[in-house]
Amino acid sequence: MDTNTRPNTISLAGKTALVTGASSGLGERFARVLAGAGARVALAARRTDRLALLQQELEQGGAQACSLGLDVTDVASIAAAVAGAEAKLGPVDILVNNSGVSVTRRVHETTEADYDFVMDTNVRGAFFVAQAVGKTMIARKAGGRIINIASVAGLRALSQVSVYCMSKAAIIHMTRAMALEWGRYDINVNAICPGYIETEINRDHFHSEAGQKLVNMLPRRRVGTPEDLDGLLLLLASDLSDFINGSIITADDGLSVT
């Protein structure tokens, strides 16, 4: 299994997890961690070439995995991906609703295309992915775990990413609404709000002069790594979170309390 995965005592053996946005960044890490805990993992994203490489790596480590093309802005694509995951690996017990995009632009410079790009993926896409998985969980009366990936940006305003902030605030309230309605079906819906996490997409920025200036403004003058979310992810995916429902949990190194 992935040698970079920290040892844990949580077992997800016998569970099937669907991870959206699994081709890179946080999604890729989430998939590795869930596989490391014994889950069968369905990898979903638009970049299927990268998914195939990740699937091969997970399978070489002894995990069961499959790759699925997914465009979360297309409801038909969502339905096909969920059906494909269940056909290949069994009913989905855990959803990590991770797909997301952003545009860096000042409010008065934001275009209609910018707005639609972010909201269609981050809000509309996340809603219909969760709905599709939730329907299957309700139908089979087996419960499940839905983990929505929000952001500290949904809790506080950040400059030049207004639409992204709006989209993640919507995910937070969506999480609460789903938890309220689906708790009776033994479906726990929670959200993780990461702070600044370094991934391949933003690594160059954090090492630039502007990025270092931002880092020096953070509570502990550092950014996180995807590994910093491992424990929280495993908790919410496992039976240990049975009494945690509708929770919005920050993992931001104290940023949200400054």
Residues annotated catalytic, as ranges: 164
- 94-97/144-149 β-pairing: parallel
Cβ atoms of 127 and 100 closer than 8 Å: no
| Whole-angstrom distance, CA of residue 3 vs CA of residue 158 | 35
Tell me how far CA of residue 208 lies from CA of 95, 173, 220, in angstroms: 35, 34, 18
